[in-house]
Amino acid sequence: MIEVNRMISVKDLTLTLNNTIVLDHVSAEFAEGTVTGLVGRNGSGKTVLMKCICGFFKPDSGSVSVGGKIVGRDMDFPEDLGIIIEAPGFLGHFSGYENLKLLAMIRHRIGKKEIYDAMELVGLDPKSKKRVAKYSLGMKQKLGIAQAVMEDPSMIILDEPMNSLDSSSVEDVRKLILQWKSQGKTIILSSHNQEDISTLCDKTYYMKDGKIIDG
């Protein structure tokens, strides 16, 4: 079995957007088999940091390495990474399964069974013909989580994954996160809910004005 390096390392990362410094010399490490929290108010930089890890933004200076490879140099985007950042965008006139099937066709890594399994994991019926336009906000959030994990990535980035979920679903997702951790996955979690952070995270970075102020 091939050993997979799941470490994510951020070194002295600085990024300016629209003449505003949104990340200011940020350094952080996210180890495999752990859940690391990112906490901060809106505009603190945590979502931008997640997007840099995903390769969506190219930093002014510093580096992001995923599995020992530099994002933006050795690869454009990390290969083995599942993400849910901000509100998931899906095609409203298709069902949940049809949406995930279209996304799965991009990399051709999984088939019907894996999509079914991911949807059932988060409490959605993959056989339902209901169009996503008719989904509640909570159902759309669950579909976003299913999309993030359906290819069984070794690294998962979850930006406010509990948004719009009822209390029962929140508990279910917390159990899933701990299950993924036990499988050795590297998980980065942002949440405004302190209970999520205290219950799930092995380590937490607190951010303000684009800087890590504690962690």
pLDDT, tens digit, 9 for 90 and up, residues 128-156: 999 999 999 999 999 999 999 999 999 99
- 76 and 165 share a domain? yes
Q: Based on the structure, what is the number of domains in the chain?
A: 2
pLDDT value of residue 5: 64
Burial class (CB in 10 A: 0-12, 13-18, 19+), 205: buried
Closest CA to 171 of 206, 196, 153, 154: 196
Average pLDDT value for residue range 79-99: 90
Kindly tell me if the per-residue pLDDT of 1 is higher than 60: no
- 163 and 215 share a domain? yes
The helix-helix angle for 137-149 and 96-104 (nearest 10°) equals: 30
- 111 and 172 share a domain? no
Structural domain including 128 reads 90-152
- 121 and 74 share a domain? no
Which of these three, 128, 152, 176, is where a domain ends? 152
- 113 and 67 share a domain? no
Q: Is residue 49 within 8 Å of residue 24, measured between CB atoms? A: no
- 74 and 95 share a domain? no
Asked if the structure places residue 2 within a domain, the reply is yes
Average pLDDT value for residue range 87-112: 91
- 104 and 117 share a domain? yes
What backbone torsions phi and psi does residue 14 show, to the nearest 5 degrees? -130, 135
- 207 and 113 share a domain? no
Average pLDDT value for residue range 16-30: 96
Threshold 0.95, pTM exceeds: no
- 73 and 172 share a domain? yes
Average pLDDT value for residue range 38-43: 92
% of the chain surpassing 90 pLDDT = 84
Query: How does the average pLDDT of the chain come out, rounded?
Result: 93
Q: Is residue 81 within 8 Å of residue 116, measured between CB atoms? A: no
